[in-house]
Structure 1
Amino acid sequence: MENLAGILEHIRKELHKYPEVSEEEYETQKRIQAFLEKHTTCELVTVAKTGLLAIFNGNKKGKTVMLRADIDALPIQEVNTFEHASVNEGVSHKCGHDGHTTILLGVAKLLTENPLPNGKVVLLFQPSEENGSGAQSVLKDPYFKKLHIDYVFALHNLPGFTKREIVVKENEFTSNVKSVAIILEGKTAHAAEPEKGYNPANAIAEILYFIKQETNNIPESADFFLATPIHITMGEKAYGVSAGYGEVHLTLRSWSTRLMEEKQATLKSLLQSLETKEKLRVTASWFEEFYANKNNTKAVEYIEAAATQLKLSINKINIPFKWGEDFGLFTQKYKGAMFGLGAGKNTPALHNPDYDFPDDITLTGAQLFYNILKEVQE
């Protein structure tokens, strides 16, 4: 296993050094494919342009299990100065997707060295998780549609948790998240005669009041709902002009998909009323939509059994994570679960410019995934 750990650390640092953002993971895809062709025996299929499937078939019939790793990086400038620091200006692996990818490459190596006799294993190296489009693109892929999947699993490294600790939860594991850009178009006028134009200021104020009233930022609550202002702009710094244009950008988060739909509908209704009331043209663009990861009870049991076999500490959390993860789209469609892998209590937080995936948890993730596969087939 020591040799495997060294091989995986090498490819992880290579992936870290050459990161690519969502929808641009062409070189990353090539590196993954080259590793799999050199070190494993599997069928390779390109999906969703920059994604890749590595397929392992057992000799006997069994369940089809998909494991997923996200492969894209973030538009964040790295501040680390180690040898494998990003060489791509303004782009870096600050969420650990280089580590997630490497863990799945480790699983591929384990499946090659110790093939499972039953069933089919589909390793998905998925693009574009960070912008929320990757899972949907894979699900629409013609080849992927032909697969009859029984279970899906994914992990996310978790700074702030003890290294190698396995973090599990039934039902919602991560939040529903939606982003919206609200454009308010009115009519500019002289600042001394604002009545001759249509200023979006009052509408912006009502939107901000609305989200303050609707927000219930209590994670312990089943009706948790968080609306966060991200960006607001209006007019220009021209003091003789009454503004005729404004923007409000928000993110919405909830545990409940139903509640998210209700809040979204309420906001849409408010925007329609503001359009009439303030004589504005109001348009809302919804994007970066993440569905909650809804963990299946049996899938969580498989994770816990596999972790127990490896004598790993299991942390059963009560409150979901407030961040979004597009693997939720898979758990809405298939039985499955996402779980956490502790990355160290003193590891920099995800999306921080000094974050780096800890290589000493890679083999743990690969072995755990492999054991989950065995548990499902037994």
Structure 2
Amino acid sequence: MLKNDFIADVLPSVLEWQRDIHRHPELGFDEHRTSDFVVTKLREFGLEVHRDVSATTVVGVLRAGDSDKTLMFRAELDALPVNEATDLAHRSEIEGVMHACGHDGHTAMLLGAAKLLSQSPGFDGTLYFVFQPAEEVHGGGKKMVGDGLLQRFPADKVFSQHNWPGAKEGAVVITEGPIMAGVDDFTLTFSGKGAHAAMPELGDDPVLAAAEFVSASQRIVSRSVDPKSALVFSITQVHGGRINNIVPDKMEVQGTARFFDPALSDHVEKQIHKIASGLAQSHGLEYSLDYRKGYPAVVNTALGAATARDAAYAFMTDEMVITDAAPSLGCENFSYLLNAVGEGAYIWLGAGDVGPREGLHGDRFVFNDKLFPIGLRMWVSLAQTALARGA
């Protein structure tokens, strides 16, 4: 940081806030203390604050100038059901709950940006600071959109930043197009007539159908889609039976699919039906499929990515702005906000290489403190780029 740098003035507070939130993690939709903390800080900074939007969501509003342009920044509030195994002085004080994905850092950074921009706006328009609950698993982004967030706070563009272990330390990663995958889950049930294991001819055998499905379903990726398309199809659980001398009357097969092309969601569902139907018929069984469409893919728009790159180049050297990173098959429900707004980008902050259990969702995960000044500067630069005075 430069001498007398404005980031240096707020950084100690941001670190203090992150440590406090890390010590008191809360799971999705239970982030009451964290929301209270955010509300207190935003009011201290003089922002207009709303917490009647959706569950534990907090929205801070900051206006400057007279432009009707609007911009939304988003950070996450929730933690994970993980037992922390670090030796940090500020390790979690809540048994079985940990900020193992860095949402504490993201919240602290966005609070820091709100403080900086309230003191020295440098932009023309309206900024919405959205602190989202339940990013992990529970779909807080979908609920916010469904509860009318964007009707009350309509935005021209939306952005979010996420620390990213494995990416070049200190780099800002901004790619156009897919950056995080869509994800669906399913439960397939084969049902028939059970029998004693010594007399299998008296019943059906859903175990055989389930076993054959595990093998046959691999053709979904290898034989039913273009090899250049990104699709991961994984069987993750098989359940059935309670005792070793009875052939069960029911077997469950569970799994997940991940992809970037939204059309693959319907394709995978149809292929499961096709394979399961054939197996059920050949074994004399019935089958049912519970196919659950999950988070859509995060696809950065061309304009959103360009705006973020311009903001990054304003303070980063060219080699530290990465624009051609491969997307991740992990998922993120920022997709709901991005799809609803229509323009924006999801930005990675490179956290460098990490060891076993030290990556995202690991019990030894530690937020890289070097990212705080970069993330703060990125938020400020985004505000001043997307809501430029005189533009």
Instruction: Flag whether TM exceeds 0.5 (same fold).
Output: yes
Residue 343 (1) aligns with residue 312 (2): no
Residue 327 (1) aligns with residue 337 (2): no
The count of residues paired between Structure 1 and Structure 2 equals: 375
The corresponding residue for 1:314 is 321
CA distance in 2, matches of 1:184, 1:27: 45
The corresponding residue for 1:293 is 298
Aligned to 1:61, the other structure's residue is in SS state coil
Structure 1: segments with no counterpart, 5+ residues: none
Choose which of 59, 64, 84 in structure 2 pairs with 1:58: 64
* Greater shift in the superposed pair: 259-268 or 280-289: 280-289
Aligned to 2:180, the other structure's residue is in SS state coil
Q: What code does the residue aligned with 1:253 have?
A: R
Closer, same or farther: CA 105–224 of 1 in aligned 2, 3 Å: same
The corresponding residue for 1:248 is 253
Contact 2:168-2:353 within 8 A present in 1 as well: yes
Measure how far apart 1:22 and its partner are.
1.6
CA distance in 2, matches of 1:287, 1:85: 35
Q: Mapping of 1:165-184 within 5 angstroms?
A: 165-184=171-190
- State the TM-score, normalizing by the size of structure 1: 0.92
Measure how far apart 1:37 and its partner are.
2.2
* Greater shift in the superposed pair: 190-199 or 294-303: 190-199
CA distance in 2, matches of 1:33, 1:186: 56
Contact 2:205-2:248 within 8 A present in 1 as well: yes
* Greater shift in the superposed pair: 15-24 or 33-42: 33-42
Closer, same or farther: CA 167–87 of 1 in aligned 2, 3 Å: same
Closer, same or farther: CA 141–341 of 1 in aligned 2, 3 Å: same
Choose which of 130, 137, 149 in structure 2 pairs with 1:131: 137
Aligned to 2:307, the other structure's residue is in SS state helix
CA distance in 2, matches of 1:318, 1:93: 26
Measure how far apart 1:4 and its partner are.
1.1
Aligned sequence identity (%): 26
CA distance in 2, matches of 1:195, 1:21: 50
- State the TM-score, normalizing by the size of structure 2: 0.89
Residue 102 (1) aligns with residue 102 (2): no
Closer, same or farther: CA 3–64 of 1 in aligned 2, 3 Å: same
The corresponding residue for 2:4 is none
Measure how far apart 1:196 and its partner are.
2.7
Residue 153 (1) aligns with residue 159 (2): yes
CA RMSD of aligned residues (A): 2.2
Measure how far apart 1:60 and its partner are.
0.5
1:306-349 CA-partner distances (Å, limit 9, x unpaired): 11111251112252111011111222231111111011223621
The corresponding residue for 1:209 is 215
Measure how far apart 1:54 and its partner are.
0.9
CA distance in 1, matches of 2:301, 2:371: 25
